[in-house]
Amino acid sequence: MKSEERALGLFKGLVEHYLELGQPVGSKTLANQDGNQLSSATIRNIMGDLERHGLLSSPHPSAGRVPTDAGLRLFVDSLLTVKPLTSGQIEQVQSDLLVQTGVTDLVESASALLADVSQLAGLVVMPSAERNTLEHIEFLNLSEGRVMAVLVTSDGGVSNHLIHSDLQYGADDLRRAGQFLAQRCVGKTLVQMRQWLASHLLELQAQVETSMRAVTDLAAQLAVIGPDQESLVVKGEANLLTEQARPADMERLRELFAAFDERQSLLQLLDRCVGAEGVQVFIGSGSEYGFYEDYSLVAAPYEVDGQVLGMLGVVGPTRMAYDRVVSLVDVTARLVGAALNR
């Protein structure tokens, strides 16, 4: 209906004005916008209806209106006009990502880029080690009763696992054990390696000689080592500190910083959008997939050959420039996937 279109158009202009300036928007401001043909009285009536529907709120009786989390949700889902990155910004992202030669450097660079371009906090979930295959395995003697298992995976990642043993192994024992297990486990994912070792321990014990006891002893311990925890790289937290922050803002910011340090709650949230296509936006704490009060997360998966390897995104106040941040996250996710594919 024409009245609904008029209300949505007015609401869109109000939200855009609020996101740009961060101040409550009054009817006089909207009446002075280019192209507006409505009177201040009509605008006030429409704003009152939008407030009754929970899309706007008024911080003070005469201070104008600001969008609620529900209002921002409607704006992002239905009214947002995404602004593409400039050619200079795309070149900056490409040049910084495509020169990286290791996964860790790539992830660090992507997180820093997201923070730098958005002037908010950038985060990237490292590719899960459980999707990488084993390329090399080696055992190193540290001291009496301690052996270091070194696993090298197909992404160039190296993980070290400390193994405690009642037996003393020589360098030749450990070398033969590494070669023996490499012949049987290289090419498997780390999950598949652990499953194979667990199911073949009795068979291995029957095959190997006493001099190869190191094989079964070390294999038994590798079989129960837990998977490497996915790590989250966060850059640009300082961008979220503003001179205008109130005591209540700082308390919420402390909660967000604690989540950055703890990681697990953010990883669980990001896991929810692994199966979703494109960019996902989490606004405030009111929705089913809520974030943190007064903050939003714009996230997207990055993938290689159709397989999602991880997530990346931008965290900032709910009053962020969604039109630019959505575009930045989308482009960066695609370029990270391209760099990993290369």
CATH number at residue 138: 3.30.390
Residues 331, 253 share a domain: yes
Residues 94, 7 share a domain: no
Residues 327, 239 share a domain: yes
Residues 328, 306 share a domain: yes
pLDDT category at 260 given cuts 50, 70, 90 is: confident
Residues 111, 159 share a domain: no
What integer best gives the mean pLDDT of the chain? 82
**Domain boundary, last residue among 222, 248, 277:** 222
Residues 111, 75 share a domain: no
**Domain boundary, last residue among 201, 222, 243:** 222
**What is the per-residue pLDDT for 256?**
85
Residues 137, 119 share a domain: no
Residues 108, 241 share a domain: yes
Domain range for 151 is 130-222
- Run of H or E residues at 89: helix 87-98
What is the distance between the alpha carbons of residues 44 and 50, in angstroms, rounded to a whole number?
10
Burial class (CB within 10 angstroms; exposed 0-12, middle 13-18, buried 19+) of 192: middle
Long-range contacts, stretch 328-332, CB < 8 angstroms, 24+ apart: 328/85, 328/89, 328/114, 328/117, 328/118, 329/114, 329/279, 329/298, 329/299, 329/300, 330/278, 330/279, 330/300, 331/85, 331/90, 331/93, 332/93, 332/97, 332/110, 332/113, 332/114, 332/300
Average pLDDT over residues 17-45: 85
User: What pTM value is reported for the model?
Assistant: 0.71
Q: Please, what's the b/e burial string for 241-262 (b: 16 or more CB within 10 A of its CB; e: otherwise)?
A: eeeeeeeeeeebbeebeebbee
* Percentage of the chain exceeding pLDDT 70: 85
pLDDT tens for residues 102-121? 778 888 899 999 999 999 99
Residues 184, 237 share a domain: no
Instruction: Determine contact, residues 296/315, Cβ cutoff 8 Å.
Output: yes
Residues 64, 108 share a domain: no
Structural domains in the chain (count): 3
Average pLDDT over residues 260-281: 76
Residues 245, 214 share a domain: no
Residues 239, 166 share a domain: no
- Find which of 11-15, 36-40, 198-202, 245-249 is predicted with most confidence, using mean pLDDT: 11-15
Q: Please state, as a whole number, how many other Cβ atoms lie within 10 Å of the Cβ of residue 120.
A: 24
Q: For the domain that residue 335 is a member of, what is the CATH number? A: 3.30.450.40
Average pLDDT over residues 152-175: 79
Q: For the domain that residue 47 is a member of, what is the CATH number? A: 1.10.10.10
**Domain boundary, last residue among 79, 107, 140:** 79
**What is the per-residue pLDDT for 78?**
93
